[in-house]
Amino acid sequence: MEGNYIQVHKTARYFTLGQLSPETQAVWFVCHGYGQLANYFLKKFDVLENDQTFVVAPEALNRFYLQGFTGRIGATWMTKEERLTEIEDYINYLNQLYDNILLDRDISKIHINILGFSQGVATVCRWITSRGMKVDNLILWAGQLPADMNLDLSREVLAQTTMYVIYGLQDEFLTNIPHDEYVKNFSVAGFTPHILSFDGKHEIHRETLGRLRDHMINTKKGL
């Protein structure tokens, strides 16, 4: 038996919050975690909504029933099956979305913020490293750097990018690693992120998202 491949067109879905206009000063790309859908995920980001901010939530290309054969549906960026192909597919998808959203925009005047949550952390890290596009702020929320990340290339690509690492103190998916070790892993990799923690679990915490926004505004690193 021989495995073969063919590239096909696939319709991808994404949701947006706010309006993209000449007044837009910040564009956020927010990538959800395993088993989530982009429309529900995006609701957590209403704290960012204002006339100058546009939030884009792409949805992973692979959907599945979360339990059994019916009921709630989630999406995943990849699985271990054909993982390299799926990584290539979602990188191409996110590149196309980035280009479509920012088409004919002077991105030198727009803060580009990219956030990955849980499985989305590895997703955005691979995406940014593969492309090297403009990113003012990279927010890694409740996830870890992918083991296959090219750290030398990533440090070069992210040299002008401000990195944030955010996690909940009761995050049930980070119980296998002490919090100080979790944070230390990023510095060992050669990054110097701002660290924000909150009293909560594996979630997008609105109050902490507001703290992040305020820090960006105060340091003039984004909106």
- Residue 99 lies in domain: 14-218
Query: Cα(first)–Cα(last) distance of the chain, in Å?
Result: 54
In a domain, 117, yes or no: yes
Averaged pLDDT score across all residues of the chain: 94
pLDDT (0 to 100) of residue 89: 97
- Positive/negative CA dihedral, 131, 137, 141, 145: positive
**SS3 label, residue 194:** strand
CATH number at residue 206: 3.40.50.1820
9 assigned to some structural domain: no
Helix (H, G, I), strand (E, B) or coil at 25: coil
Average pLDDT in the 105-134 region? 95
Give the tens place of pLDDT for each residue, 154-169: 999 999 999 999 999 9
Would you state the pLDDT for residue 13?
98
70 within some domain = yes
CB distance 177 to 139 below 8 Å: no
Convert the pLDDT of each residue in 84-105 to its tens digit. 999 999 999 999 999 999 998 9
Q: What pLDDT, in 10s, does the model give residues 43-88?
A: 999 999 999 999 999 999 999 999 999 999 999 999 999 999 999 9
> Would you say residue 222 has pLDDT above 70?
no
Q: What is the mean pLDDT of residues 131-157?
A: 93
Q: What is the pLDDT of residue 221?
A: 58
Phi, psi of 55 (to 5 degrees): -115, 130
Quick one: which of 157, 174, 221, 169 has its CA closest to 196?
A: 169
Confidence band, pLDDT 50/70/90 cuts, at residue 121:
very high
- Three-state DSSP state, 10: coil
The whole-number pLDDT of residue 176 equals: 81
65, 40, 125: which is closest to 90 by C-alpha? 125
- The 10s digit of each residue's pLDDT in 5-55 is 999 999 999 999 999 999 999 999 999 999 999 999 999 999 999 999 999
Distance from C-alpha of 89 to C-alpha of 92, rounded to nearest angstrom:
5
Is residue 8 assigned to a domain? no
Say which residue, 176 or 110, is predicted with more confidence: 110
Structure-token pair, residue 75? 């999406």
pTM: 0.95
**Which residue, chain included where needed, has tokens 């999406």?**
75
Q: What was the pLDDT predicted at 177?
A: 85
What was the pLDDT predicted at 223? 59
- Give how many domains the chain has, as a whole number: 1
Tell me whether residue 7 is in a domain: no
